[in-house]
Structure 1
Amino acid sequence: MEALTLGPAGTYSHRAAKAVADEVVFTDSKTAIVEAVASGEYERGVVPVENSTEGPVTESLDAFAEFDVAAVRELITPIRHALIAQGPEFDVVASHPQALAQCREYLDRNYPSATLESMTSTAAGVERAREDPGVAAIGHPQNADDELRVVAEDIQDQSSNATRFLVVAPASERSEAGSKTSFIVYPNVDYPGLLLELLEPFADRDINLTRVESRPSGERLGDYVFHIDVEAGLYEERTQAALSEIEAIADEGWVRRLGSYDSETVLD
């Protein structure tokens, strides 16, 4: 099976995707991953959706609202950042903006005069360091090799730093089995107490909400799409009952059930 994810090789997305597929193909766009799976071009896509330090990955959320796919698996990847360079002397640190942000305190404390350079991925930062001895990269320590050395390990500001990925499949593979469920609600209305009305059906049935995010719908200013994750499967009667109430509230808009799935942690 092939899986499409963010490249190039050596990114954290690549490490997550290797737990899903024998062959991993790369792109530079989260939207492109979801679109390619929705069209049937790829059987699986692996998309980052949330980081414990930096929060939601908004491009991924917007792609889920735009393209109809199924969420079939959740992967949690602990993030281990290392400072990698050809030698101890450098004046630029290059990496993905989220990696730079996740190591902000370390960099401010140890390299306050270094220039921070944003790259499309952590792997691209590693390649930049490989090409220029004046550049260090932030990436997984296993990206070090004969040309690059690990200057420092575990430089992330939060030791519990982790990224959550969703494995997406064509909509026809949507499942009701699993311990978690993701869905998207576009009410297409706005009035006081709307969000409370959307959440009460779950509270009334003792269903735990693990994530609620709002994203602009793109239709008009102040109009939102809600992304909701719950700790319950679609196969459960209580989940079906709660969603029935929500669909009634959003009868002028729509509700998309991404599907139910189980979660696992992927260790390097």
Structure 2
Amino acid sequence: MTTITLGPSGTYSHRAASAIADDGDIEFAESMTAIVEAVANGEADHGVVPVENSIEGSVTESLDAFAEYDVAVVKEIITPIRHALLAQREDFELVCSHAQALAQCRGWLDEHYPGVDVEAVASTARGVQRAREDPSVAAIGHPDNASNGTELDVLAEDIQDQSSNATRFLAVAPASERSEAGGKSSFIVYPNADYPGLLLKLLEPFADRDINLTRVESRPSGERLGDYVFHIDIAAGLYEERTQDALGDIAELAENGWVRRLGSYDSVTVLD
């Protein structure tokens, strides 16, 4: 079975994907949208995408892809993030990494390398590739990337601004694999409406049934200015009667729009 994730080899996404697939069955894409699209179109059996970081918040490209393509969420993967500064020499001129990694290390870079130029690239591993090819470039990535047959040195470790830095990944599969079993559930609501108290009405069905909301995020629908899609995660399974009753109320509120049940799933934590 093929699993697709953000590449090239050595990204944090690759580490997360390795928790559910053998390395020989992992393929790489350059964007979260491409990963979700490949799974929806049957070009890959599973995909692994980042959705939330404890420092920088949601990965909006992944959320937007879930709204665009019909897939199932089948597992949550939590992995601690350990960033290191990697380079061939100490007098580098540019730091390259994924935009999220650069943001997660912004304070450390400002303190230790004030004024250094930074450049966002498609992934942390892509930044490592740049540093391998150009001695004037440093990268931010996992420290193991310096020992994978490269000439890079680890100039500093654990440079993330918060020691508790962790990223939440979701494994997605074709919609036919959607399950109602699991301790967590995700779904998307497009009310196609706008009136005072709408968000409160969307949240009350869960509060009334003692269902904990673990994440609520609004994203532009793309239909018109001020029109939103809501991404909601709960600490309950779709198989539970209370969840079914709450979603019944939500469906009535979104009668002019739609509700997409991404599925229920369990969580695994991957440690270095």
- TM class by shorter chain equals over 0.9
The answer to whether the aligner puts 1:117 opposite 2:119 as a matched pair is yes
Task: Look up the match of 2:186.
Answer: 182
Among all aligned residue pairs of Structure 1 and Structure 2, give the percentage whose two residues are the same amino acid.
Answer: 76
Inter-partner Cα distance in structure 2 for 1:107 and 1:24? 33
Question: How many positions carry a matched residue from both structures?
Answer: 268
Pick aligned residue for 1:95 from 90, 94, 97: 97
Pick aligned residue for 1:241 from 245, 250, 256: 245
The answer to whether the aligner puts 1:173 opposite 2:177 as a matched pair is yes
Inter-partner Cα distance in structure 1 for 2:126 and 2:258? 39
Deviation at 1:176, TM superposition (A): 0.5
Return the TM-score normalized by structure 1.
0.98
Q: CA RMSD in A?
A: 0.9
Return the TM-score normalized by structure 2.
0.97
The answer to whether the aligner puts 1:4 opposite 2:22 as a matched pair is no
The answer to whether the aligner puts 1:14 opposite 2:14 as a matched pair is yes
Give 1:143's aligned amino acid.
Answer: N
3-state secondary structure, aligned to 1:73: strand
Matches within 5 A, 1:115-264: 115-145=117-147, 146-264=150-268
- The runs of at least 4 aligned residues of structure 1 exceeding 6 Å deviation read none
Structure 1: runs of 5+ lacking an equivalent: none
Inter-partner Cα distance in structure 1 for 2:115 and 2:228? 41
Q: Which stretch shows the higher mean deviation, 198-207 or 34-43? A: 34-43
2:85 touches 2:141 (CA, 8 Å); kept in 1?
yes
Task: Look up the match of 1:27.
Answer: 29
Deviation at 1:88, TM superposition (A): 2.0
2:31 touches 2:122 (CA, 8 Å); kept in 1?
no
Any idea what the Cα deviations from partners look like across 1:40-72, whole Å, max 9, x if unmatched? Answer: 111100011111111111111111111110000
Pick aligned residue for 1:79 from 69, 81, 84: 81
Any idea what the Cα deviations from partners look like across 1:103-127, whole Å, max 9, x if unmatched? Answer: 1111111111321122111111111
2:5 touches 2:26 (CA, 8 Å); kept in 1?
yes
1:91 touches 1:113 (CA, 8 Å); kept in 2?
no
Matches within 5 A, 1:56-75: 56-75=58-77
Inter-partner Cα distance in structure 2 for 1:257 and 1:71? 9
Give 1:245's aligned amino acid.
Answer: D
Deviation at 1:20, TM superposition (A): 1.3
